[in-house]
């Protein structure tokens, strides 16, 4: 059986395989999505099935092949990833802005021009 897991850093699916065989008409159990369901759907990172322990990586693909599984632990997708990068961006902008403000306050040339010692 084939499984695909999206790798957001590369924009590709990692494809895994194991020896499990399913009949063509066998339905998989419906994943439980819980309270994360909203009017437009559920994030893929919450609905993906778990990768079986015996599956081994067999390649990469632009498109998912087989069953889509959840991303690896600690890998964000969608809003989680964007939100994290926005927090980092604002932190960096705050540090740069604070540094520029401190430089302006203690700039020796400006202080001399204004009569400070």
Cα-Cα-Cα-Cα dihedral of 57, 61, 67, 70, to 10°?
70
pLDDT tens-digit series, residues 14-55: 999 998 887 777 777 666 666 666 667 776 666 677 888 889
Are residues 27 and 2 part of one domain? yes
Please state the pTM of the whole predicted model.
0.52
Are residues 89 and 35 part of one domain? no
Determine the structural domain holding residue 91 and report its residue range.
77-117
β-pairing verdict for 67-68 and 56-61: unpaired
Residue 6: how many other CB atoms lie within 10 Å? 21
pLDDT tens-digit series, residues 79-93: 444 445 667 778 888
Are residues 92 and 54 part of one domain? no
95: part of which helix (H) or strand (E)?
Answer: helix 78-105
Task: Report which of 6, 17, 29, 3 is spatially closest to residue 81, judged by C-alpha positions.
Answer: 6
Higher pLDDT, 77 or 85: 85
Task: Report which of 63, 24, 28, 18 is spatially closest to residue 49, judged by C-alpha positions.
Answer: 28
Are residues 84 and 64 part of one domain? no
Which structure tokens are listed for 71?
């991303």
pLDDT at 70: 81
Are residues 14 and 31 part of one domain? yes
Most confident of the ranges 10-14, 44-48, 75-79, 109-113: 10-14
């Amino acid at each position: 059986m084939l499984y695909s897991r999206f790798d957001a850093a590369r924009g590709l699916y990692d494809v895994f395989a194991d020896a499990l065989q399913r009949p063509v008409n066998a339905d998989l159990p419906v994943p439980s999505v819980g309270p994360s369901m909203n009017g437009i759907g559920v994030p893929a990172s919450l609905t993906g099935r778990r990768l079986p322990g015996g599956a081994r990586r067999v390649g990469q693909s632009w498109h998912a092949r087989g069953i889509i599984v959840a991303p690896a632990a600690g890998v964000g997708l969608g809003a989680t990833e964007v939100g994290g990068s926005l927090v980092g961006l604002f932190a960096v902008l705050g540090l740069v802005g604070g540094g520029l403000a401190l430089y302006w306050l203690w700039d020796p040339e400006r202080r001399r021009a204004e009569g400070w010692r």
